[in-house]
Amino acid sequence: MAFSCRMCTENPFTALFGPPQKVEDKQKKKKTISSSQPSQRNEKDFTPRSEAEIDAAVKQWAQYAHPRARDFFTTPEQLEEVLRQIAKGTDRNDDPILGPEEKNVYWYGDVTKEDMQAAIRMVKPGESSESITYVNRVLAFIFATDESFEK
């Protein structure tokens, strides 16, 4: 439905926002939009953690888990399994939890098919089937302060 004003010769929204796009144009634009900087991630640079390094990272990170995460996961082992997946998906020289804020940490684990987002598989407490969960959401849930998490 087009907006029409008796006083205006053209649609005032067109003057402000440009002509309306067709749905096809919007879909094309979405597919071609990329981040302003290309990713610095290089699969060849990935150095996986050893089992001992994974255990050490999980033990260290678990100390910083928010109480809401401890309440959500019915056993410490469930939380530790999620942290193990995060340790396996990140380089041994990077720390997504305790590392410097200004350093990017790249994901080398599983990603979603549609939008290539970092993801892990987990069985949520109270459920019997495995589901795919975004890593950024899991990290926020486990480690963010209440104030940050509720934003």
Taking only the tens place, the pLDDT of each residue in 61-106 is 999 999 999 999 989 999 999 999 999 999 999 999 999 999 999 9
Q: Full-prediction pTM beyond 0.75? A: no
User: Are 92 and 99 spatial neighbours (Cβ–Cβ below 8 Å)?
Assistant: no
Among 36-45, 101-110, 138-147, name the one with the lowest average pLDDT: 36-45
Among 1-15, 53-67, 83-97, name the one with the lowest average pLDDT: 1-15
- Percent of the residues in the chain that have a pLDDT greater than 90, as a whole number: 57
User: Are 82 and 120 spatial neighbours (Cβ–Cβ below 8 Å)?
Assistant: yes
At 34, is the pLDDT very low, low, confident or very high (cuts 50, 70, 90)?
very low
Say how many C-beta atoms besides its own lie within 10 A of residue 25's C-beta.
10
Say how many C-beta atoms besides its own lie within 10 A of residue 53's C-beta.
13
For residue 29, pLDDT over 80 is answered with: no
Taking the CA atoms of residue 93, residue 87, residue 149 and residue 111 in that order, the dihedral angle to the nearest 10 degrees is 100
